[in-house]
């Protein structure tokens, strides 16, 4: 029990240390707070010098409260939440049952059985909250930890239910196994939760480095990285690769007339319209200020021209609503294909750019093939 308490305190210290900075995500703070509460509850349950109310009743309630906070953090991580009412119910059940077996029908064995089964259930509910996200590569370690910890507590509850005096089985194989499994599960959970946060930060960094913050399209770095893979995939499959260069006509006039916030909304609007034409394996990137690149895998020149013309017509008839303003805009497009320019993405973009400027010189709001 002393080893278990020490492991609980150490894993709690690890989670608290990882959450003690200004920009830590809220779920990490909930996990740390929950582990602190659970540690306090375990200490209360194992200090015989405390009065029965604290030792045999409030200690279990504090542990349940801590598990409720951990569950709330997991729900927040999964873009959900857990109400304070639910946390109060989780805590209240532990409080009422522990008080019943302490004052109404005093039984250490029954209280220990209840704590084993109830805390096992709460850990399995935490595991279920992670499993519903279905991101096994990221959250599999924490999921395994909650399942393992729940299993150890359940095993302890079963042992207490099937044996007489709990003290008689202290050295039994079941107690020894549960004493090993419980701290092991706590360690796995702590590292699993930290790994989940690390993966989330890594994903944010990836998005910041490859996505345009304004429109959500790929930036030039993201286009270079993913475009090469798309080109190689199309070349190996013997498919055509088409590139459509899109540029907003008179974009500087829009900014000067309506202001930059309206210009930004026009770019976001254009990105949304283009995404409606995208298939899952196509790419959209913001190549410059008001210039976008659309990379189409398995589309030949004629099909790409139809896509571009459909986009041009849709853009022409759409209205951008922003801050009580209604703005129309048009776009010029250049279309090129690997059938004429090979699969080199740089060459395709260069040829598409030239075709797009030809469309501007020809009067704008039109599509020209390179």
166 pLDDT exceeds 90? no
5 pLDDT exceeds 80? no
Give mean pLDDT, residues 84-105. Answer: 93
- Do residues 248 and 331 make contact, with C-beta atoms less than 8 angstroms apart? yes
At 171 the pLDDT is: 46
Give mean pLDDT, residues 170-188. Answer: 74
Q: Please give the model's pTM, rounded to 2 decimal places.
A: 0.70
Q: Where residue 150 falls among pLDDT bands split at 50, 70, 90?
A: very high
pLDDT digit string (tens) for 310-338?
999 999 999 998 888 889 999 999 999 99
In DSSP terms, 166 is beta-bridged to none
77 and 160 part of one domain? yes
Per the model's pLDDT, the better-predicted residue between 304 and 17 turns out to be 304
141 and 82 part of one domain? yes
Q: Has 203 been annotated as catalytic?
A: no
Block residue for tokens 């582990």: 35
CA proximity to 59, closest of 48, 73, 71: 48
3-state secondary structure of 89: helix
What's the domain count of the chain? 2
pLDDT digit string (tens) for 110-149?
888 898 899 999 999 999 999 987 777 788 899 999 999 9
DSSP classification of residue 218: B
Residue 214 lies in a domain: no
Q: Which of 290, 291, 309, 358 is catalytic?
A: 290
* Residue range of the domain that includes 276: 220-369
At 44 the pLDDT is: 87
- Do residues 120 and 153 make contact, with C-beta atoms less than 8 angstroms apart? yes
Q: Tell which of 162, 178, 209 closes a domain.
A: 209
Residue 215 lies in a domain: no
255 and 184 part of one domain? no
79 and 118 part of one domain? yes
195 pLDDT exceeds 90? no
Give mean pLDDT, residues 186-213. Answer: 84
Residue 125 lies in a domain: yes
Q: Tell which of 175, 209, 243 closes a domain.
A: 209
178 and 306 part of one domain? no
Residue 149 lies in a domain: yes
Of 82-96, 106-120, 159-173, 232-246, the one with minimum mean pLDDT is 159-173
205 and 352 part of one domain? no
Residue 120 lies in a domain: yes
298 and 317 part of one domain? yes
233 and 296 part of one domain? yes
275 and 204 part of one domain? no
């Amino acid at each position: 029990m002393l080893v278990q308490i020490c492991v609980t305190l150490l894993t709690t210290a690890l989670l608290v240390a990882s959450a003690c900075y200004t920009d830590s995500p809220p779920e990490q703070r909930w996990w740390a707070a929950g582990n602190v509460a659970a540690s306090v509850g375990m200490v209360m349950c194992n200090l015989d010098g405390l009065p029965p109310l604290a030792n045999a009743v409030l200690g279990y309630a504090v542990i349940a409260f801590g598990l409720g906070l951990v569950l709330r953090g997991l729900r927040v991580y999964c873009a959900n939440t857990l109400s304070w009412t639910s946390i109060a119910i989780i805590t209240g059940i532990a409080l009422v049952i522990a008080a019943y077996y302490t004052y109404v029908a005093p039984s250490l064995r029954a209280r220990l059985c209840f704590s084993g089964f109830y805390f096992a259930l709460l850990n399995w509910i935490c595991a279920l909250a992670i499993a519903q996200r279905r991101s096994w590569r990221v959250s599999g370690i924490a999921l395994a930890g909650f399942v393992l910890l729940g299993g150890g507590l359940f095993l302890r509850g079963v042992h207490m239910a099937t044996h007489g005096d709990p003290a008689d089985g202290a050295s039994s194989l079941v107690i020894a196994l549960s004493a090993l499994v419980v701290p092991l599960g706590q360690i796995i959970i702590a590292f699993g939760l930290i790994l989940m946060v690390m993966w989330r930060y890594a994903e944010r960094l990836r998005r910041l480095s490859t996505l345009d913050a304004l429109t959500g399209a790929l930036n030039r770095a993201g286009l270079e990285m993913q475009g090469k893979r798309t080109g190689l995939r199309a070349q190996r499959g013997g498919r055509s690769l088409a590139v459509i260069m899109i540029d907003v006509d008179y974009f500087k006039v829009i900014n000067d007339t309506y202001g930059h916030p309206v210009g930004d909304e026009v770019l976001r609007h254009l990105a949304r319209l283009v995404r409606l034409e995208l298939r899952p394996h196509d790419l959209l990137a913001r190549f410059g200020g008001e210039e976008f690149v659309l990379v189409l895998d398995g589309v030949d020149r004629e099909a790409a021209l139809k896509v571009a013309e459909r986009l041009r017509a849709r853009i022409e008839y759409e209205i951008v609503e922003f801050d009580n303003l209604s703005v129309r805009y048009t776009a010029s497009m250049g279309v090129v294909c690997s059938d004429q320019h090979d699969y080199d993405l740089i060459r395709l973009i260069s040829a598409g750019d030239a075709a797009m400027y030809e469309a501007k010189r020809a009067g704008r709001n039109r599509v020209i093939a390179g």
